[in-house]
């Protein structure tokens, strides 16, 4: 959600922090601010975009070699200047930025009010800051010690950066449940919510763990736990280029990321899928293969687009591996007091690897003896580190808020996992196994062919951009694709859209059908095709407008639909990686036609790191 940036070193901090905040805009936010130390502690913050903050600072004194910056997605308190971060302590000596939610802030605030503290904002962050300030003044201790004492009393999630006006070199940072990465330079350090603000300066980073405090100076990085015991920083080399977080000539990151999919799917398969020898190599999954195939069930937990990938995986794993699969919303799973048996397998899917609900859910499942497999995109993320094993999607940074290439990367990984397990268990014959391996290998080239339909899809988008509602329908493997298509249209164009299994249309949604309603059918050739044709006829009988995603060679649906998008043929198990691409493009072009910022849809954040 919120974005955090910090710098300490010989350079001017403000340009680095400001550029870092711009790199983090994709995470979603409604205000921005910076704190700088140069003889005195200065805080500047403003509701709106980073550009609005930058404009207000023209002519201001922004010198200093240490600084922290923040983009805020409102939780406690409405989006306005006074609730924006950084916050200043009542003493004026300490500034802090915070990502997360302090759940027991109300009681702490009452205690502080009784001591005479006043508050200038409605945020839980200012409460934590003044709590730290109170501890420091009452105990006459260091800022580091005051932070440690405060955090042992705190309930909730946090990533904080704290600076003191009398220490113009040191940033105190800590995290629990919200990500923090520290970049290591020569005589300087960079701090951020993710690596995107850092890669311009260094590729050596340390991912801070939960319940760790970092004391960061230009030439020193000290990690400690809340018990004041020193921890050894583990330095990781970033496998990321600066060009990966730039638009590269595209109008929007979303469009760039849609068009990157032939390469990102290939990168996901590369080194793992050896078609010539009929072999899939995924060391983390293979290490636990025996336990997985003998598990009583597999539970997939995820949110949003990742949940849709999990639904596809349910179909694939049950079909190929004959293991029962349940797919759960992480936000419901964590509170439902679910029955977890020792040896159950939990697959956690998350693009960022930091999704708060998913993290808490797998922590609880792990405590009860479950085997945790993580499917994530972000290297070094919390879910990756908490899992027993898993696989990265290798999709590269995804800057557009609406997930595209991460979804197809997740499907590629999950298909390989299913094939590997099926071969290990013996529930797939060799010919079928080899055929599906070949089908997977062919996906990047077929995706490239679909992207050549961009102009055609744009014309369809122009035709339906003024619709108020839309239905997305599919059956079998394409039902989750219909859900994903509806979600994309909602996210990007703000058109109300719903995804349903096509057969469920008659159980309610058909009441919406009239001559103004576009109905998108994901109708590629599969074992449900004839049934879908019947569903299309039912829509046309009620004058609905049908947009059909079909397979080349289909001679029936073109005679029924108002518009068709023709895809290369593919086995129904791998087809969702292809059938979703035109839905991504359709949503993109509708959003652009309506004049919206498709990279930063209103009210949305890229990574949901708070409840």
Q: For 211-249, how does the pLDDT look when each residue is reduced to its tens digit (9 = 90+)? A: 999 999 999 999 999 999 999 999 988 876 666 777 778
- Model confidence at 610, in pLDDT bands (50, 70, 90)? low
Residues 6+ apart with CB under 8 A from 509: 471, 498, 500
Task: Please check the confidence at residue 184 and state whether its pLDDT lies above 90.
Answer: yes
Mean of the pLDDT values across residues 435-449? 97
The predicted structure's pLDDT at residue 242: 67
Q: Tens digit of pLDDT for each residue in 114-166?
A: 999 999 999 999 999 999 999 999 999 999 999 999 999 999 889 999 999 99
The DSSP result for 268-282, as a single string, is: HHTTTEETTTTEE--
The CATH classification number of 3-243 equals 3.60.20.10
The pLDDT of residue 456: 97
So what's the pLDDT on residue 1? Answer: 59
User: pLDDT tens for residues 98-113?
Assistant: 998 898 999 999 999 9
- Bridge partners (DSSP) of residue 100 are 158
| Phi, psi (deg, nearest 5) at residue 121 | -135, 175
Same fold, 3-243 and 453-595: no
Torsion of CA 177, 239, 246, 158, to 10 degrees: 10
Q: How far apart are CA 359 and CA 379, in angstroms?
A: 15
CA separation for the pair 507, 529 (Å, rounded): 20
Domain 248-449: state its class: alpha beta
Is CATH 3.50.50.60 the right assignment for the domain spanning 453-595?
no
Positions marked catalytic? 2, 606
For 36-46, give one letter per residue: b (16+ CB within 10 A) or e.
bbbeebbbbbb
Contacts of 333 (CB under 8 A, 6+ apart): 299, 301, 357, 361
Strand partners, 546: 519
Task: With beta carbons less than 8 A apart as the criterion, state whether 163 and 37 touch.
Answer: yes
The whole model's pTM is what? 0.80
Q: Is 110 exposed, middle or buried (0-12, 13-18, 19+ CB in 10 A)?
A: exposed
Domain ranges of the chain: 3-243, 248-449, 453-595
Distance CA 548, CA 564 (A): 5
CA dist., res. 462 & res. 139, Å (int): 65
User: How much is the mean pLDDT over the chain?
Assistant: 91
pLDDT of residue 611: 53
Q: How far apart are CA 125 and CA 153, in angstroms?
A: 14
What is the average per-residue pLDDT within 31-55? 93
Read off φ and ψ for residue 538, nearest 5 degrees.
Answer: -65, -35
**pLDDT, tens digit, for every residue of 566-597?**
999 999 999 999 999 999 999 999 999 999 99
CA 555 to chain centre: 40
């Amino acid at each position: 959600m919120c974005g955090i940036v910090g710098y300490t070193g010989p350079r001017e901090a403000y340009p680095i922090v400001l550029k870092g905040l711009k790199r983090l805009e994709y995470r979603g936010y409604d205000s921005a601010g910076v704190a700088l130390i140069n003889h005195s502690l200065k805080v500047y913050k403003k509701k709106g975009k980073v550009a609005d903050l930058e404009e207000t600072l023209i002519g201001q004194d922004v010198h200093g070699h240490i600084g922290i910056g923040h983009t805020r997605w409102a939780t406690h308190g409405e989006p306005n200047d006074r609730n924006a971060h950084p916050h200043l302590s009542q003493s004026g000596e300490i500034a802090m930025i915070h990502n997360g939610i302090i759940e027991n802030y109300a009681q702490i605030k009452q205690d502080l009010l009784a001591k005479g503290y006043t508050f200038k904002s409605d945020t839980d962050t200012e409460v934590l800051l003044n709590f730290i300030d109170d501890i420091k003044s009452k105990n006459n201790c260091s800022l580091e010690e005051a932070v440690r004492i405060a955090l042992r009393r705190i309930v909730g999630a946090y990533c904080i950066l704290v600076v003191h006006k009398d220490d113009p070199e040191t940033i105190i940072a800590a995290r629990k449940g919200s990500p923090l990465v520290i970049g290591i330079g020569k005589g300087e350090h960079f701090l951020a919510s993710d690596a995107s603000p850092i890669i311009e300066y260094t590729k050596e980073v340390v991912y801070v763990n939960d319940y760790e405090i970092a004391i960061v100076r230009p030439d020193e990085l000290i990690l400690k736990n809340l018990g004041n015991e020193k921890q050894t920083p583990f330095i990781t080399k970033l496998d990321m280029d600066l060009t990966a977080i730039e638009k590269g000539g595209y109008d929007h990151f979303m469009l760039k990321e849609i068009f990157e999919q032939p390469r990102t799917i290939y990168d996901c398969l590369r080194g793992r899928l050896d078609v010539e020898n009929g072999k899939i190599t995924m060391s983390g999954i293979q290490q636990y293969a025996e336990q997985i195939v003998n598990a009583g069930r597999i539970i997939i937990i995820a949110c949003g687009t990742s949940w849709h990938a999990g639904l596809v995986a349910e179909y694939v794993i049950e079909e190929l591996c004959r293991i029962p699969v349940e797919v759960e919303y992480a936000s419901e799973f964590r509170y439902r007091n679910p029955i977890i048996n020792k040896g159950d397998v939990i697959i956690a899917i998350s693009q960022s690897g930091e999704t708060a609900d998913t993290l808490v859910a797998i922590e609880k499942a792990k405590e009860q003896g479950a085997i945790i497999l993580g499917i994530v995109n972000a290297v070094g993320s919390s879910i990756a580190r908490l899992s027993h094993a898993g696989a990265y999607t290798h999709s590269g940074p995804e800057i557009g808020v609406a997930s595209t290439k991460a979804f197809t990367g997740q499907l590629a990984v999950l298909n390989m996992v299913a094939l590997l397990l099926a071969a290990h268990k013996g529930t797939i014959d060799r010919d079928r196994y080899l055929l599906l391996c070949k089908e997977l290998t062919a996906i990047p080239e077929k995706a490239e062919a679909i992207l050549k339909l961009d102009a055609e899809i744009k014309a369809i988008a122009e035709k339906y951009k003024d619709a108020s509602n839309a239905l997305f329908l599919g059956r079998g493997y394409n039902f989750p694709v219909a859900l994903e298509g509806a979600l994309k249209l909602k996210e990007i164009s703000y058109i109300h859209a719903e995804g349903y299994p096509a057969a469920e249309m008659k159980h309610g949604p058909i009441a919406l059908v009239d001559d103004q309603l576009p109905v998108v059918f994901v109708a590629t050739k599969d074992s449900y095709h004839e049934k879908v044709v019947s569903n299309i006829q039912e829509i046309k009988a009620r004058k609905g407008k049908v947009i059909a995603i079909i397979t080349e060679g289909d001679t029936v649906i073109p005679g029924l639909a108002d518009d068709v998008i023709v895809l290369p043929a593919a086995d129904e198990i791998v087809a969702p990686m292809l059938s979703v691409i035109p839905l991504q493009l359709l949503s993109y072009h509708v959003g652009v036609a309506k004049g919206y910022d498709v990279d930063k849809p209103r009210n949305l954040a890229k990574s949901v790191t708070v409840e």
